[in-house]
Amino acid sequence: MTLVFNRQSLLDALTMGSHFCIDYKAMPLLSNVKITLKKGLLVVASFNGESAIKYAMKIADDVNEFEACINAKDIISIIQNIKEDEVTLILDSNKCVINHSRGKLEVANVDASDMLIPTMESTDDVIELNNEIICNIFKDGMDFVNADE
């Protein structure tokens, strides 16, 4: 499956969704993000054994369903170093190929069924933030932060 993304939007989704990735030698799976394509969304999720985060980004509605686990540091560092505005991802069950004008790079996939991301129970605490709320938190908090410097 081939998908073309705006580089910064993809990088934002991977960065937000990988927030709970940790380097834990006993469980290297926890350093991965789970990427799911479903119902017109790209969902990036991570889990550190206690907390989980999912970040969704709208994509084309006609994309086939797909799941893969990719090392978060590997894919983020590759995409950060690409200077073009568009990045092409070619996803299959064994690897993720990142195409750009200077060539292509491959990142290995792990079977996504091995990575369990907990689902929310009705009794769990849920915090939902949209971009407007986050921007207001940063904007309103800037005066306080600057006053301490």
* Residue 117: per-residue pLDDT: 67
pLDDT digits (tens, 9 = 90+) for 11-68: 998 888 888 787 776 677 778 888 888 888 988 988 887 778 888 888 888 888 888 8
pLDDT, tens only, 71-128: 888 888 888 888 889 989 888 878 889 988 888 888 888 777 766 666 655 555 666 6
Residue 8: its pLDDT value, please?
Answer: 92
Q: Within a 13 Å sphere around the CA of 83, how many CA atoms are in the beta-carbon half?
A: 2
Please, is 134 exposed, middle or buried when counting C-beta atoms within 10 Å of its C-beta (0-12, 13-18, 19+)? exposed
Global confidence as pTM: 0.71
- Percent helix / strand / coil, the chain, rounded to 5: 30, 35, 35
